Amino acid sequence: MQFSFTNEINQSMVKNLLKRHGVSKRLLSNIKFDGGKILVNAHEENAIFRLRVGDVVTILVPDEPDNECLVPEDLALEVLFEDEHYLVVNKPAGVPSITGVNHPKGAMSNAVKGYIARQGYKNQAVHIITRLDRSTSGVMFFAKHRYAHALMNMNSNYRKSLQKRYFAIVDANSKLSVLTEMEKAAVSEQLRDCGQKLPQTGSIQLPIGRLDGSIIQRQVRFDAGSKQAHTSYEIVKEKNGLQLLDIQLHTGRTHQIRVHFSHLGFPLIGDDLYGGNHELLTRQALHCHHLQFLHPFTDQCIDIELPLPSDMKKILS
């Protein structure tokens, strides 16, 4: 693949121009040592070559080799969006996002690897931009080459443009928990009244850290080991003693939605790890239904929407 950039700063070095356009040191090293090229006005140069205003720098990015540790599988894959740079798919509940020691197969990464192989793409590496818990369904976002991945991860404008929304179901008859004064300061005013129903809308900025003694479970905690987390929500439906929430993630902490709502006294239906009732659903009622991002290569706003999955729809009908 090749990408071109026009220099606007006199005497700027090639590597500085490329850095401004999101080319990492690692990618620059790949270009240098793995068969790529740097061209300035169609002539090969090195990374410290000094540019004039108007010079055009083109990078020829070498194809990425196959990762033999990741097994390609011919699994069903619902593609929601695809171009030469990005791939967005619908992950079913119960399928892990990535492989692990105990499950080297059957993950979304295996399915995407198999899809890439069948399509005959030159780049065979799988780049995951967003992932979901095993029991969560919905939109997953992949990059099809390392430069596309780097732009979404490292460039603040594109990273901030990435927005995800979730549907979740909670028990409408639950009541708000008692919060400490420090916790009250981290939630919107309507969430501070213990013993009340969940308000129509709310904002939660409770920090999250690992639960002591667990490598999986998280909790709300105010210490050096925690990270700021921000969730906002709106109740969009109430039926059968259940409430359907439309949730906006402003940060992406592990188990963020599950921890925030459990801490408020409203664990997700089916979420037995955080105290949810699993009689109605055998997995947490959480579905990533919306993904929006600014496309780094076209500057178009990509907007992808999924309906409520059948198992969550059933308990609300």
pLDDT digits (tens, 9 = 90+) for 198-247: 999 999 999 999 999 999 999 999 999 899 999 999 999 999 999 999 99
CB-based contacts of 183, cutoff 8 Å, min separation 6 = 206, 220, 263
Q: What pLDDT score was predicted for residue 297?
A: 95
Catalytically active residues, by annotation: 133
Calpha distance 300→294 (Å, rounded): 6
pLDDT bin (cut points 50, 70, 90) of residue 105 is very high
- As a whole-number percent, the residues of the chain with pLDDT over 70 amount to 100
Q: Is pLDDT of 93 > 90?
A: yes
Across 175-179, average pLDDT: 97
What are the tens digits of pLDDT across the range 117-134? 999 888 889 999 999 999
Phi-psi region of 144 (alpha: psi -120 to 50; beta: other; left: phi over 0): alpha
Cα–Cα separations (whole angstroms), residue 137 to 125, 273, 284: 23, 17, 9
Cα–Cα separations (whole angstroms), residue 256 to 54, 89, 124, 225: 46, 22, 32, 15
Across 173-191, average pLDDT: 96
Across 166-187, average pLDDT: 97
Q: What pLDDT score was predicted for residue 103?
A: 80
Parallel, antiparallel or unpaired: strands 163-171 and 218-220? unpaired
pLDDT bin (cut points 50, 70, 90) of residue 64 is confident
What are the tens digits of pLDDT across the range 269-307? 999 999 999 999 999 999 999 999 999 999 999 999 999
For the chain, report the end-to-end CA distance as a whole number of angstroms.
49
Under 8 Å between Cβ of 263 and 206: yes
- What letter represents residue 285's amino acid? A
pLDDT bin (cut points 50, 70, 90) of residue 68 is confident
Backbone dihedral angles phi then psi of residue 34, each to the nearest 5 degrees: -115, 20
In sign, the C-alpha dihedral spanning 4, 9, 13, 16 is negative
How many of the other CB atoms lie within 10 Å of CB of 270?
Answer: 22
pLDDT bin (cut points 50, 70, 90) of residue 37 is very high
Calpha distance 160→165 (Å, rounded): 14
- As a whole-number percent, the residues of the chain with pLDDT over 90 amount to 90
pLDDT bin (cut points 50, 70, 90) of residue 253 is very high
Under 8 Å between Cβ of 290 and 165: yes
Say if domain 63-154 classifies as CATH 3.55.40.20.
no
Give me the CATH topology for the region 2-60: 3.10.290
Across 162-166, average pLDDT: 97
Calpha distance 131→151 (Å, rounded): 17
- What letter represents residue 58's amino acid? T
> Residue 188 corresponds to which tokens in the numbers above?
């919107």
Which helix (H) or strand (E) element contains residue 61?
A: none
CB-based contacts of 215, cutoff 8 Å, min separation 6 = none
Under 8 Å between Cβ of 250 and 230: yes
Which SS3 state, helix, strand or coil, does residue 41 take? coil
Parallel, antiparallel or unpaired: strands 231-239 and 242-249? antiparallel
Q: What pLDDT score was predicted for residue 157?
A: 87
Domain definitions of the chain by residue range: 2-60, 63-154, 166-289
pLDDT bin (cut points 50, 70, 90) of residue 156 is confident
Which SS3 state, helix, strand or coil, does residue 82 take? strand
- The closest alpha carbon to 133, from 257, 281, 316, belongs to 257
> Residue 88 corresponds to which tokens in the numbers above?
């967005």
Q: What pLDDT score was predicted for residue 247?
A: 99
Q: What pLDDT score was predicted for residue 229?
A: 98
Q: What pLDDT score was predicted for residue 122?
A: 84
Q: Is pLDDT of 255 > 80?
A: yes
Parallel, antiparallel or unpaired: strands 286-294 and 137-143? parallel
Q: Mean pLDDT in the chain?
A: 95
Place of tokens 């987390």: 229
Calpha distance 130→108 (Å, rounded): 12
Prediction pTM value: 0.92
Q: Is pLDDT of 102 > 80?
A: no
Under 8 Å between Cβ of 265 and 177: yes
